[in-house]
Amino acid sequence: MHPPTTDKRPMIRLEGLSKVFYTDELETHAVADVHLEIPRGEYVCIAGPSGSGKTTLLSLIGLLDTPSAGTYRLDGATASGLSAAARARMRSEQIGFVFQSFNLIGDLTVAENVELPLTYRAMPAAERRRRVAAALEEVGMAHRGRHLPSQLSGGQQQRVAVARAVAGEPPILLADEPTGNLDSKNGDAVMELLRQRHRAGATIVIVTHNPEYARQAERTIHLFDGRVVEEDAHASAR
């Protein structure tokens, strides 16, 4: 876990970031000239209508995709223009993901799913096991370590996905509609897990259509047609 910090230097800094997709001679500007700073330890929501570029922007921040133009600096280091291998290395050390569709591997056990991202880091097996156990304990799934994803409910699978995201103790957590496939009770539980990580010092960026969940963030970034059109601060979020 990362203790809360008063360091407000930008953890994430985007300068003129754009992403253009080309299909059949058609240009789609999914993200257009975004300028954005997210200080270390902030909890930010990205909101906007369907097709506004939310998931594309999150993919760029998470180094899952590369921008067509602009500059991205992650914790002071240039993240745009890196090779695929360099992006993967930076991503494994800095970023944890929680997706709407869980993205668990069906033929791996719960514990193996949580451990998988750690195998890409130079980490002893004993340390990997310790982190897996701690992460599953944190999300209340320690008793399910030997089960397969198909033996779990949707809420349980998303808890495992959160454990996988936090096991590497990344300073940044990105969540793309993490409650979209859950009922309200399980959705609330997953959001509370993210708030716990925020209180422990993590930088959180979440995409959600749920206004109640958006208000739990300290700031909401509104996108429309790939551009930032408005920002709201939520003074009472903490």
pLDDT tens column, 196-224: 999 999 999 999 989 999 999 999 999 99
What pLDDT shows up at residue 9? 75
pTM value?
A: 0.91
Q: What is the pLDDT averaged over residues 141-157?
A: 96
Q: Indicate the SS3 state at residue 200.
A: coil
CA distance linking residue 40 with residue 25, whole number of Å: 40
What pLDDT shows up at residue 7? 58
Q: What is the pLDDT averaged over residues 170-192?
A: 95
CATH architecture of 41-66+81-233: 3-Layer(aba) Sandwich (3.40)
What pLDDT shows up at residue 235? 61
State yes or no: pLDDT of 237 exceeds 70.
Answer: no
Bridge partners (DSSP) of residue 87 are none
**What percent of the chain is predicted at pLDDT more than 90?**
84
Q: What is the pLDDT averaged over residues 75-94?
A: 91
Residues 6+ apart with CB under 8 A from 225: 29, 32, 52, 53
Tell me the average pLDDT of the chain.
Answer: 92
Q: Cβ(45)–Cβ(220) under 8 Å?
A: yes
Residues 6+ apart with CB under 8 A from 86: none
What pLDDT shows up at residue 123? 87
What pLDDT shows up at residue 61? 97
State yes or no: pLDDT of 3 exceeds 90.
Answer: no
pLDDT tens column, 64-73: 999 999 999 9
Between strands 219-224 and 227-233, the pairing is antiparallel
Q: Which of 20-29, 160-169, 203-212 has the lowest mean pLDDT?
A: 20-29
Q: Domain segments of the chain: what residues?
A: 41-66+81-233
